[in-house]
Chains A and B, each alone.
Chain A
């Protein structure tokens, strides 16, 4: 009983955290690019190399370029927000005492697939962002990058692990349903 209560409390807190992140992440994205020039070229905020961009930015970006950058950043943000929605759904189920149900299994499956989708979107975003950030350059000096970072390999691995956990949870659901029919 005490454990159930702890699950309920922790799940409620994590659900609220997911809700906050759903709004916080796009807001940070918009904020970052809106004040990009002040942030990136200001000596007081530290070296420009600390900002993880696919290409080096050598001049201030116009409003149109920054708008394009915001839109490009939304490509991996969309599966991330969808993943947070699914995580929120999972924690709501845990909060209501539903541990091994078809809903839980569906959430795990969605989360695994979303994480893998995020990796693909992130690769695409990095390539598009390199084009967007070098658009102001004269022809012949525009760059397109294509690459995978170690964090993306980790995300793919974790996504596959979550999909396997979804299989295990489905088995647990069947066991619980069987148990419910033993009176």
Chain B
């Protein structure tokens, strides 16, 4: 079971820079990069809320659940 983070796709769709998103959410660009690459262990609801507010999207647009291929 894997959770895929499609933040890059959403950023491209909305034509916004990572730097602007990071500044709005209140996290560093390095931390945003960790989220984009899926290297985080979790995302706080407050952080997810801020990302969805900035990108005008739903959590499901950013987070995708994928079953591991047998």
Cβ–Cβ < 8 Å partners of B44 in chain A = 182-183
Tell me the interface secondary structure of chain B in the complex.
loop
Tally B residues with Cβ within 8 Å of A: 11
Cβ–Cβ < 8 Å partners of B70 in chain A = none
Nearest CB on B from A129, distance (A):
56
Contact across chains for B34 and A182 when beta carbons are under 8 A apart: no
Nearest CB on B from A80, distance (A):
42
Mind listing 12 A-B residue pairs with CB under 8 Å?
A: A181-B34, A181-B40, A181-B41, A181-B42, A182-B41, A182-B42, A182-B44, A183-B27, A183-B35, A183-B43, A183-B44, A183-B47
Task: Known A-B contacts: A182-B41, A182-B42, A183-B35. Give 11 more (CB < 8 A).
Answer: A178-B41, A181-B40, A181-B42, A182-B40, A182-B43, A182-B44, A183-B27, A183-B34, A183-B40, A183-B42, A183-B47
Instruction: Give A residues with C-beta under 8 Å from B.
Output: 178, 181-183
